[in-house]
Chain A
C-alpha cells in the first residue's frame, strides 16, 4: 500500500547535492600525501626526526586548542589544519634541532602566524613558515647545523643537541654535515642531482627526498586538492633562470637540476607555496605567484647571504597574494570588448 509521506519536510535552498569535498577531507589527504616524505625523514635521520615532527605537531595542536579556548570558540583541531601546519613546520627544521626550540617555533607559527589573524582561513602567511622564520631568526646557529643523513647510530642514540634543556645552547657532535646548497655557496662544490633527488644528502628533516615529495604532490593534484600551476610555475622559473645563469658560468649558479632537487625547493613548491589559505585563487594569479617565488628563490640562493631562499621567497609570495588575486581576476563571461563576434 502506497502512502504519501507524513513526517516533516525540510525546506532548504538548492543545491541539494554537494561534491562531498570538505575542509577536513582535504586536510586529511594533505597529511596522507606528506606521509611518504615524513617516513623517509625518520628513516634517514632516525629517532631525532621522529621527535622533531612529533614535537612540532604537538606544539601546533596545543596552541590551536589554547587559542580556540581563549577566543571562546570550540575545538578546531578536527579540521586538521593545525596538524598540517605542525607537520609541515617540523619537516622544514634541521634534524637534531633542540626540541625546545622546535616547540617555541611551533607555538609562534601557530599563535602569531595563524591564531592572531583569526584562525583557519585568515592567515596571510603560511603558519609553518612563520614558525620556521622565527626560529631561523632566533636560533641561527642551530638552524644551520646539520646532522648527516643515514648516520649509522641514528636509531641507537639521539644527537646530543636534541634534548638540550630549554634556554641553553646546544652541544653538537664533531660530526656534522653540510647541505648541498651550503657546500656550493661556501665551497663551490656540487653534489650529484640524483643523490639530491633521492635524498641521500644532509638537509632539513623532510626536504631531502624530492622524489617522495613530488609523489605526494602528484597524489594531491590527481585528487584536485592542490593547484598544479603553482609548483609547475616555480619549478619552471627556477629551471629557466638557473639554466640561464649557469650558462654564464658554473661559478655564477649551479646547474638547474641541482637547483631543483636541493634544499627546500621541492617541499616548498609542492607543500608550502600551495597552502590554499595563503596562495592565490585565480589561475593566472597562481602562475604569477609561482614565478615570483621561483625567481626570488634563485636570486636569494645565488646573490643572497644565505644558501637557501625558498622560505623567504614563499613568504614574499604570500604577501603578494591578495594583490595578485585582485590584479589577475578572471574575465567575466560576456564582458569581452567585441562580445558577440
Chain B
C-alpha cells in the first residue's frame, strides 16, 4: 500500500516534524575551505575493516594520491586530502571517543587545490570494473552512515534490483548539503546515476527530494538526460523520510522485511551526494579527499555549505568560520541522529554531513526535567517502524533486553530519535534502545553457536 499525504505528495506513515532550520544556508553556494596546518585522516571512516596504510612516515604525497588500500571487500581506499608530508601514522581521535589508527598529514605551505588523477573508469565499463573503481575511489555513503557503497552494489546472484532510489530527501534539520549538490552538481549526479544503473541493472532510477527543496527538484527535472530512465519525485517534508525503509515505502509502496535489506524489496538506495561523488571521481580515477558539509547552528558566525578536506580538525574548522563565545555543544551530522563531538581534535570524515554548533542556551533546551511516562502515546504515533517505544522504554528501564529483542522487535529500531524528540516526559528513549541493542549484540556474540 502506498501511503499518500497532504497535497498528494508521497510520504510514509508516522514520523515527526522537527523545525527545519535550513533557511540560513539553503541558498548559499558551496565554498572551498582552506587546508588546516595538520590534517588528521583516520583509517576507519567507514563501517567495515580499517584501511591499510600504503605510505610511510616522512613520505611526500600528492593530493588525491592513495594513502591506504582496502583491507578485504568490506573496506575502502583512502586518499591524501592535500599535497604534503606524512608526519605520523598513529592513533587519531574519532567521533566515537575512541582512538583509531590514522595518518597525520602536514600540507605543504601554499599547496594548490590540484588533484592527482588515476586510471579513469568510463561509464560503459563492466559492472565488476565499476564496483572495484568505486571501492578504489574510497566511496562510502555520504548521507552519514558511511557504509562502503560498492558493497551494496555487489548484488548477489539470487537478488534483483528493479529500482534505484537516489536519496535527496535530506530530512535532517539544519543540513543543506544534498540540496546544494543537486543544484550545483547536476551533471555529476546524472553521471553517477549512469554508473549506478549499469552496476545494478535497475530498470529505473528515482531521485527523491523533499518538498522544501523544490528548486533542486525542478533543476534536476530540467536537465534529465534523454537516454537515462530517471525521474524526480517530490516527497512531503517529514522526518525521517531519508531513511532507506521510509523512502522505499513512500516511493514504491513496499516494505523491507524485518531484518532484511532494501534489495529484499527489489530496491537500492544511494545518497544523491554519493552518486554525485561517483560521477565526479570515476571519470578521472580520483578518490574522495573532501566532501560538502553544512557548517551551521546558532553558535556559528559564517554559516554555509563548504567543500572541506577530509581530516580537517573541528578546532580549525570552527576557528575559520568563527563561533560565539559560549559554544555549548558541537555535533556532527544533523540534530536528530548526529553525534556530539567529544573534543575539537576530532576530524571531519567521509560520513560527516554537517557540523552544527549550539550555544549554551540552545544546548540547555535539551536539559529538561524527566517526568514519569504518562502514556500519552506520542512515541507510538511517531515511530516510523511502528514499534511501541513506550513499552520498549519500560522494558529497557528494567534491563529486559532479551524480551525487547524477542517480543518487541527492538532490533528493527534504526535509532532515528523520533520517540525521544516527541516525548513530553523527556525520557531518553532512543538512548535506552541504543544501550539495549548493544547489549543484545554482545549477548549474541557471546552465545555459543
Contacts and interface: CB of A to CB of B under 8 A. Distances in A.
Interface in B331-389: 331, 333, 335-344, 356-358, 360, 363, 365-366, 368-369, 371-378, 380-381, 384-388
Contact of B340 (A16, A121, A336): A16
B425 interface: yes
Contacts of A329: 388
B108 interface: no
Nearest to A4: B319
Contacts of B386: 330-333
A286 B375 CA distance: 12
Interface stretch (B40-48, B70-78, B255-263, B268-276): B255-263
Interface in A238-292: 276-283, 286
B380 A281 contact: yes
Interface residues of B, number: 87
B323 A120 contact: no
B249 to A, nearest CB: 7
Interface stretch (B227-235, B304-312, B396-404, B427-435): B427-435
B397 to A, nearest CB: 12
Contacts of B412: 332-334
Contacts of A283: 381
B318 A4 contact: yes
B375 A121 contact: yes
A21 interface: yes
Interface bin, chain A: 35 or more
Nearest to B342: A11
Interface in A295-341: 325, 329-336, 339-341
Contact of A16 (B329, B360, B425): B329
A18 B243 CA distance: 20
Contacts of A11: 97, 329, 340-342
B380 A277 contact: no
A122 B386 CA distance: 24
A227 B336 contact: no
Interface stretch (A22-30, A96-104, A136-144, A159-167): A22-30
B328 A10 contact: yes
B125 interface: no
A7 interface: yes
A12 B368 CA distance: 13
A81 B373 CA distance: 13
B409 interface: yes
B346 to A, nearest CB: 10
A14 B374 contact: no
A13 interface: yes
Interface of A: 2-5, 7, 9-19, 21-23, 25-26, 79, 81, 119-122, 227, 276-283, 286, 325, 329-336, 339-341
5 contacts: A16-B363, A25-B424, A281-B376, A330-B388, A336-B255
